[in-house]
Amino acid sequence: MATKNKNLSEYDKATIPNAKDFRFGIVVSEWNDNITEGLYEGAVNTLIENQVLPENIIRWNVPGSYELIFGCKKMQEQEVDAVIAIGSVIQGETKHFDFVCEAVSHGIKDLNILYKVPVIFCVLTDNNMQQAIDRSGGKHGNKGTEAAIAAIKMVELNKQ
């Protein structure tokens, strides 16, 4: 597994660009909100720890992970420097998991190709609830933290 022996919340603060003038949009899926709220908290706390002003963070909710694509597309129009897409899809008994995961990953990839505002993929695609818990503030740290750091770095890259 990709997170084995890695804590998603660890990063070297000395390597992070100054983000005090950056604006971020965060689009959060309401589905599996016990997971997505933890991811959101990890992202926001990390942005603030890296000098982002709270008023420069915009949050929108969407019903599920599938709707993240449209929400992120609309968020890109809000004069933000980057968007973080937060969702959680957990394997069930049907192929629904496969269709949602593939559509969301391709949709967010397409937004990155088509538009000038980077969209960071912070969508957990886990086999069970425990894996999601472990990656949203549990034993593997918080993917929201990792996404916030990626967003800051991508804003800096985009401004070069």
Which residue, chain included where needed, has tokens 């971020």?
Answer: 24
Asked if 96 is an active-site residue, the reply is yes
Residues 6+ apart with CB under 8 A from 149: 11, 16, 46, 50
Quote the tokens at residue 156. 């800096």
Per residue in 73-89, is it b (16+ CB within 10 Å) or e — as a string?
bebbeeebbbbbbbbbb
Catalytic residue among 96, 109, 139, 159: 96
The helix (run of H) or strand (run of E) holding residue 25 is: strand 24-29
- The count of other CB atoms within 10 Å of the CB of residue 133 is 18
Quote the tokens at residue 71. 């929400």
* Strand partners of residue 142: 136
Which residue, chain included where needed, has tokens 């597994």?
Answer: 1
The residues assigned a catalytic role are 96
